[in-house]
Every structure is written in structure tokens, then in C-alpha cells.
Amino acid sequence: MSSSKNIRLILGFLGLVLLCYVLWNVRLMIYSFFAATIVAFIARPLMRLLGLIRIKKWQLPNTLRAALVLSFMIGVVASIIRFLAPIIINQAHILSQIDTNGVFNRIQSQLTTLPSWLVSDTDIYTNMQEEINQLLTISDVGTYLGNIIGGISSTLIGIFSVLFISFFLLKDGQIINQIITSLSPEKYLNKVKTIVVETKDLLSRYFIGVLVQVTVVVLVITIGLSIAGVKNALLIGVIAGVFNIIPYIGPLMGAGIGLLLAATSQLETAPDMVLSGFLLSALIPFVVAQLLDNFVLQPVIFSKSVKAHPLEIFMVILAAGSLAGIVGMIIAVPTYSFIRIIAKEFFNGYKIVQGLTKDL
């Protein structure tokens, strides 16, 4: 008996290893499916809106609705890229032409205008020069162009895969339900169906909330920087908005990159600019955006979409960051929400599960 049990354990372990090997080798397909699922979640409200269009008994078929929704989303993204591309190219050209020693010398001469409590006794000049040189070396335009050209084919294949999968997820709205229910044991079928429906609704609200969050951050920072007279305010706003997707550390990274881009661009055209005053005026929009995000946007997104306490979310994100870094922090909330839904259906007899899922 024990020998048979050992054989089953060995076979189970080998099967698990084989499964991990297969999943690792098809990870790009999994990434594409995951991205397509996010697109489908975001597009669901538009699909429902088009479904309300009726002419007597005629209704837009799912195929046409899916095509229209994806065409609209592609058009929006293409318009944004078309608008930002010249700005990005111009900014890359400016960075490639920057005299780093000259910029550093101007920064060093103007650091004396900063309040004494902001300047430490450490060798701030040397540290700043090393950081600027390193960043601008990494940002070498020629290197980036080579990388872009080298990866353009895989990028196009990835985009096509995401769009192709998204189309069928939208067209056949029940396809995921059918796949999951067909793999589920009969006695758990009702619970699995409930999990699928609740997961769709919850994640759809969450991803739409994140999209609104990013849009608001981009608008606030862009408008604020434009008022402050910062060049390429929209590009900096978009960068900050994208980094804002990363919880907690993302806004700091976005602000740091944004301020560096703003300062280098301004110093090239206005060498006599007072650095402390400029950085302060450029920093204000980032601070306003974060206050709005932390006290208005995030509470609404977390309480209305994922229905979780902010402290609960904070602990989950910290744990995910420790386990999987930045990627873990980004996917922490939707993954945790999915786990809560499963726990509610299968382990609701436990008090800790009841406490964590009482608002679901």
C-alpha cells in the first residue's frame, strides 16, 4: 500500500514538474491571454452599451459589437501614440545632445540656492553627476533604436495575439465560463459558475477604475506642468501616469523621471534658470496628483471595486512585492480579489474567511 502511495506521489511530482515546464515555455502565450483578458474586462461596459442599440427587434450582433469596440480602443491608443511620438522623438534627440558636464556644472552652481536643510554634508555633487551620467548613458538613443528595431517583430506578433484573443473573448462572452465549467467537477459546478461571474464583475470594475485613476493623474500633472511652463508636459504626465500603476513606489519613480526630464530640457534652453524655484513649481503638480489619488481615487477604487480595506490592500501589496517584486505589486490586488472570491465560495465556514469576504 505504501509502495503504491509512493508511486502516486512520485508521478504527481513529475506531473507537476512537467506542467511547470510547459507553462514556462508557453509563458508568452499566457501573457498574451492575460493582457487580452484585461482588454476584455475594460471593454465590457462598451459592449453592454452597444447592446442597448435596438431597431425594432434587431440588435447589433456580438461580432459587430466586438469589432466596433476594439476598433474604437485601437483608434484611441493610435491617436495617443501619434500625438506623443513626435514629442518622444524630440525629447530623445534633446537627451542625446545634452552636454552632461555642462548641465552638471549649472546644477552644481545653482544648488547653493537651495535651503541649507536640503543639502547634506555628503558629496552630493559627485553622487548627482554619477546618477545623471548613468541615466543618460542608459538612455543613449542609438542603443534604444537598435533594441526597438530588433524587437519590433515580436511586439507586432504580441499585439496581434492580444487583439485576436480579445476579439473572441468579447464576441463569445461565455467562452471562459464554458472552458472553466467543462473542467469543473459536477458537484462544484454552481460554486464555480458563481466565482466566474463575480470575478468578471469585480475585475472589470477594478481595471476600469485603474484606467480612470491613470487618466486623472495624467491630466492633473499635465495641466499643472503646463501652467508651470514646463516643456513636454504631456509626455511627463503620461510617464507619471503609467508609473502610477505600480503601488506606492511608482509615483516616486514617475516624479523622479519627470523632474529629471523637465530639468534637463529647461536647462538646455534656459541656462540661467533658478533651479530651486523651477523644481518646486514642477513638483507641485505631482504632489497634488498624489493627494488626489491617495485620498479620493484609491479609496473609491478599492472600496467600490474590490471592496477591501486600504490597510488590507497595503499588506497584500507589501507581501506581493517581497515575493515577486514590481510585477507582484501590480497584480497583487486583482489576484487577491480572485482568491477572496474563491475562499468565499469554498471556505466560508472559517471566521477569518468570513471577515475578509463579508463585503463581497
Q: Which tens digits make up the pLDDT trace of 130-159?
A: 655 555 554 455 555 556 555 666 777 778
User: CA 357, CA 342: separation in Å to the nearest integer?
Assistant: 10
Instruction: Give the model's pLDDT for residue 112.
Output: 56
Q: What is the pLDDT of residue 126?
A: 58
CA distance 280 to 96: 26
Phi, psi angle pair for 100, to nearest 5°: -60, -35
Say if residue 121's pLDDT is above 60. no
**Quick check: 201 pLDDT over 60?**
yes
Q: Which of 237, 224, 228, 234 is nearest to 266 (CA)?
A: 228
Average pLDDT, whole number, for the chain? 77
Express each pLDDT in 239-269 by its tens digit.
Answer: 888 888 888 888 888 888 888 888 877 766 6
Element (H, E) at 6: helix 2-25
Of the candidates 73, 81, 76, 79, which has an alpha carbon nearest to the alpha carbon of residue 39?
73
- Show me where the domains of the chain are located: 26-52+59-173, 185-360
Instruction: Return the higher-pLDDT residue of 227 and 85.
Output: 227
What pLDDT does residue 151 have?
61
pLDDT value of position 219: 92
Confidence of residue 221 (pLDDT cuts 50, 70, 90): very high
Place of cell 543639502: 119
Q: Are 91 and 232 in contact (CB under 8 A)?
A: yes
CA 136, chain centre distance (Å): 25
In angstroms, the CA 162 to CA 67 distance is 14
User: Does residue 178 carry a pLDDT above 80?
Assistant: no
Which residues are registered as beta bridge partners of 54? 59
In the prediction, which pLDDT does 9 show?
76
Q: Would you state the pLDDT for residue 155?
A: 73
Return the amino acid letter for 278: F
- Report the sign of the C-alpha dihedral through residues 152, 157, 158, 160, in that order: positive
Q: Per-residue DSSP letters for 228-261?
A: TT-TTHHHHHHHHHHHTTSTTHHHHHHHHHHHHH
220 falls in which pLDDT band (50, 70, 90)? very high
Phi, psi of 238 (to 5 degrees): -65, -45
Average pLDDT over residues 189-204: 82
> Alpha-carbon distance 47 to 326, whole Å?
32
Selected residue with higher pLDDT from 134 and 281:
281
98 forms bridges with which residues in the sheet? none
Cα 348 off chain centre by: 32
- Say if residue 5's pLDDT is above 80: no
Name residues whose C-beta falls within 8 Å of residue 353's C-beta, 6 or more positions apart in sequence.
343, 344, 347
- Position 116 confidence tier, pLDDT thresholds 50, 70, 90: low
Ramachandran bin of 232, using left for φ above 0, alpha for ψ from -120 to 50, beta for the remaining angles: left
Average pLDDT (91-102) is 65
pLDDT tier, 100 (very low <50, low <70, confident <90, very high otherwise)? low
Q: What percent of the chain has pLDDT over 90?
A: 3
For residue 136, what pLDDT is reported? 53
C-alpha cell at 9: 506521489
Give 3-state DSSP helix, strand, coil % of the chain, rounded to 5. 85, 0, 15
Closest CA to 213 of 279, 281, 306: 306
- Condensed to tens digits (0 to 9), the pLDDT of residues 284-332 reads 899 999 888 888 887 777 767 777 777 788 888 888 888 877 778 888 8
Mean pLDDT value of segment 93-99: 65
pLDDT (0 to 100) of residue 270: 61
- Its sign, for the CA torsion 137, 235, 43, 160, is negative
